[in-house]
Amino acid sequence: MNLGVGKEVPEAKTDPIPVSGYGTWVSEIMLQQTRVETVVEYYLKWMKRFPTVEELSKASLDEVNAMWAGLGYYRRAKYLHLGAQKVVGDFKGKLPETVKGLREIPGIGQYTAGAVASIAFGCVTPIVDGNVIRVLSRLRALKVRPVASKFIWSHATTLVKNCPDIKSFNQGLMELGAMVCTPRDPKCDACPLREYCHTSREVEVQIRPFDVKFQDGDACEICEKVPLTSLSCTSYPLKKIKKKPREERMLFVVFVKKTKNGREFFLMKRDAKGLLAGQWAFPELLLEKSETATKANVLKCLEKYKSGFPMKDVTEFRACGEIVHIFSHIRQTIVIAFVSSSKSLQFPERECTLIKEKEFIKFGVTTGVKKVFKAVLKNLKTPKDSKTIDAFFKRKKPSTAKPSTAKRKRGSHVVA
C-alpha cells in the first residue's frame, strides 16, 4: 500500500484507495511531523468517514477533530477542514491541479502543493521534504541546516526539468532518502547516485574543497561557516539546532457531575487561537513551580473562567497526582484535581459539555486530556488518602444532638 508519498506501508485489510488529489492532500497533511506507521490507520478511517472533499466540508469541526484525535498538531485538521470548505465554495468542489492554484487553499504550502500537483496531477514540479533535503545536501556536500532553503528548491527544480515521469521521480527521490540515504546509517554501497555524490568523494579522499580545516581555499558562499570535526556521510546536512522545551506546570480541574446513571465529565472549548486551539479540554490554570492541587488554586481556576459555582456543593475532592505531557516546545507537568458534585458547572463565555464516562475516550479529545482522564479513573479506584485532600474541602456537618438535660454533680452540690 502506498499513501502517495513514496513510502510503502504494510498492506491493510481494505480495498485499495485510488490516487486522487484529495487523498494525496490528506495523506500529505497527516504525514507532516508523524510517522507513516502511525498515519495508516488514521488515513483509512478518515477516507472512510470523509471519502470526498464535499463530505469533509459539510462536517463540523468537532467531527473532524474526533477523527484526528491522537495524531497531534491539531491545526492540521483545522486547516484541512477550512481547505475543504474553500475548495467547495470557490472551486466548485474540484481541487486545483496546479501549484499556484493549490497554494490558494488554507494550510497548503509549497511542499504540499508540489506533492499533490506532481503525484495526483502529473505536474512537472519538485517536492522538497526532509528526505529530499538530506539527499541533495549529501549529493552536493552542502554544509547547511536541514531546511528547505531557496538553493535546495532551486536545485530540486533543476533536477525535475523535462522529467518524463514526475510522479515516479519525486516518489523515488523521497524513497531514496527514506530507505538508502538515511539519517544515521546510510547504505552508500547501494546508492544509485554514488558516482555523482560529492560527499562520497570527500569521504573517500578525506578532503573537503574550500574548507580551511581540510584544505586551503576560500569558503563556500552557500555553506554555513561551521567547522566540521570529521568527514563522513552523516556530516551532511548539519544537525538541527534544537531548543530545549520550556517547563510549564498546569493545574487541570477534572469536574464531574454525579447522576443516577453514573459520572459525567465536564469539558470546555479552548480559545480559538494558541496551543490546541478550539479543542475540548478540562479547565486549567498555570501554576508556579511548587504549587499543588489546593482549594485556592481550584477557586482561581474557576474565577479565570468567570464561573460562580458554589464550593459548598462539592461532595468530593481529590488531588490525583501529576503526569508529564510533552509537546514539541513545552514539557508540561499536569497537576490533577478531581472535583465531584451533583450540580452542573457552567462557564458563561465558553462552549461547555458533559460527557458520560463510558463515552469519553471516543468523544475526540487530545492525547493529553485522555491521559488526565485515565489518571483520574486509576486514582478513583484507590482509597482516598487524607493527606492529599485539601482541608478546605472538609465541610463539618452541623451537630444534630440535643442539649443534655441530665443532672451532674459539682463537688457536693447537685446542679441542673
pLDDT (tens digit, 9 = 90+) per residue, 46-95? 999 999 999 999 999 989 988 998 888 889 999 999 999 999 999 999 99
Sign of CA dihedral 377, 379, 382, 383: negative
With 90 as the cut, is the pLDDT of residue 407 above it? Answer: no
> Hey, which residues does 413 pair with through a beta bridge?
410
With 70 as the cut, is the pLDDT of residue 237 above it? Answer: yes
Per the CB < 8 A criterion, the answer to whether 128 and 170 are in contact is no
- How many whole angstroms separate alpha carbon 263 and alpha carbon 358? 9
With 80 as the cut, is the pLDDT of residue 221 above it? Answer: no
User: Which residues fall within 8 angstroms of residue 51, CB to CB, at 6 or more apart?
Assistant: none
pLDDT of residue 305: 92
pLDDT of residue 265: 96
What is the overall mean pLDDT for the chain? Answer: 85
Once rounded to an integer, what is the mean pLDDT over residues 112-134? 95
Per the CB < 8 A criterion, the answer to whether 39 and 30 are in contact is yes
Q: Which CATH number fits domain 21-123: 3.40.50.10490, 3.20.20.70, 1.10.340.30, 3.40.50.2300?
A: 1.10.340.30
Q: What is the share, in percent, of the chain residues with pLDDT greater than 90?
A: 58
- Could you say which DSSP state residue 17 is in? P
| pLDDT tens-digit readout, 22-44 | 999 999 999 988 888 999 999 99
- How many whole angstroms separate alpha carbon 5 and alpha carbon 273? 31
| pLDDT tens-digit readout, 267-301 | 999 988 888 888 999 999 999 988 999 989 999 99
Burial class (CB in 10 A: 0-12, 13-18, 19+), 50: buried
With 50 as the cut, is the pLDDT of residue 387 above it? Answer: no
- How many whole angstroms separate alpha carbon 324 and alpha carbon 181? 35
pLDDT-derived band at 337 (thresholds 50, 70, 90) equals very high
Q: Cis bond leading into 237, ω under 30°? A: yes
Q: Which residues of the chain are in CATH 1.10.340.30 domains?
A: 21-123
> Hey, which residues does 251 pair with through a beta bridge?
285, 335
Q: Which residue has the higher pLDDT, 416 or 376?
A: 376
Q: What one-letter code names the amino acid at 360? A: F
b or e along 56-76 (b: 16 or more beta carbons within 10 Å of the residue's beta carbon)? bbebeeeebbbbbbebbebeb
Q: What is the H or E stretch that residue 410 is in?
A: strand 408-410
- Could you say which DSSP state residue 33 is in? T
pLDDT-derived band at 353 (thresholds 50, 70, 90) equals very high
pLDDT of residue 213: 54
Q: Which residues of the chain are in CATH 3.90.79.10 domains?
A: 246-393
Known catalytic residues are 28
pLDDT of residue 76: 93
Grid-cell match 532553503, residue found: 149
Region of poorest pLDDT, from 130-134, 142-146, 187-191: 142-146
pLDDT-derived band at 9 (thresholds 50, 70, 90) equals very low
Q: Which CATH number fits domain 246-393: 3.10.180.10, 3.90.79.10, 3.40.50.620, 3.10.105.10?
A: 3.90.79.10
pLDDT of residue 383: 75
Region of poorest pLDDT, from 135-144, 195-204, 340-349, 391-400: 391-400
With 50 as the cut, is the pLDDT of residue 127 above it? Answer: yes
Q: What is the H or E stretch that residue 256 is in?
A: strand 246-259
